[in-house]
């Protein structure tokens, strides 16, 4: 049985150019089944760049950015592991305090509650990082078992896949 990777992205620098090339494509080649979920703003950016359709070609599962109706079944079971890249300061803060106001954060919040393997790459500028709550958000996620790989914004994303093992 193929393991499913929940690949989640918020609208951060480089996401439209890097998500497919540096994460989704390499993850699919490594044998992951992709469950891709992006924030609404990320979906808007990806659609404008023509990337939503390209991402969809890498998985038979729907690329999601909106929630389902209560009468609709879940489109797939809970993934085996999650990778959240880029995790903007806004989305990271929401995840740390449990705000699930979009489908991407709902999926991540459920995964966090289920204690599934999760790797997060924060993407925040110096001013956002100097906000008094930012270090606490990172500490909360780490205390919950999240592997926070706090590399520079321009650091390659593909090596983050090495931090997850296929179950």
Tens-place pLDDT, residues 17-34: 999 999 999 999 999 999
> What are the tokens at 137?
């958000």
45-82: per-residue pLDDT in tens?
999 999 999 999 999 999 999 999 999 999 999 999 99
Whether 112 is covered by a domain: the verdict is yes
Q: What CATH number corresponds to the domain at position 126?
A: 3.40.50.1950
Whether 51 is covered by a domain: the verdict is yes
Whether 106 is covered by a domain: the verdict is yes
With 0.85 as the threshold, say if the pTM is over it: yes
Q: How many domains does the chain have?
A: 1
Report the candidate in 6, 18, 11 with the shortest Cα–Cα distance to residue 88.
11
Whether 89 is covered by a domain: the verdict is no
Q: Which helix (H) or strand (E) holds 126?
A: helix 126-129
pLDDT of residue 166: 65
Q: 3-state DSSP call for residue 135? A: helix
Whether 153 is covered by a domain: the verdict is yes
Whether 90 is covered by a domain: the verdict is no
Mean pLDDT of 77-95: 97
Q: What is the span of the domain harbouring residue 134?
A: 4-67+76-84+95-163
Cβ neighbors of 54 (< 8 A, separation 6 or more) are 20
């Amino acid at each position: 049985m193929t393991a499913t990777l929940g690949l989640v992205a918020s609208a951060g620098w480089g996401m439209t150019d890097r998500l497919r090339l540096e994460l989704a494509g390499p993850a699919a080649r490594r044998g992951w089944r992709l469950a891709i979920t992006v924030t609404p703003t990320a979906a808007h950016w990806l659609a404008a760049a023509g990337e939503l359709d390209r991402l969809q070609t890498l998985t038979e599962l729907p690329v999601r950015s909106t929630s389902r109706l209560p009468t609709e079944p879940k489109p797939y079971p809970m993934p085996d592991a999650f990778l959240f890249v880029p995790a903007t300061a806004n989305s990271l803060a929401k995840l740390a305090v449990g705000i699930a106001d979009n489908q991407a954060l709902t999926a991540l919040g459920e995964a966090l509650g289920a204690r599934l393997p999760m790797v997060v790459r924060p993407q925040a500028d110096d001013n956002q990082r100097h906000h008094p709550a930012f270090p606490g958000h990172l500490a909360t996620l780490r205390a919950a078992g999240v592997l926070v790989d706090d590399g520079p914004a321009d650091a390659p994303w593909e090596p983050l896949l090495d931090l997850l093992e296929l179950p």
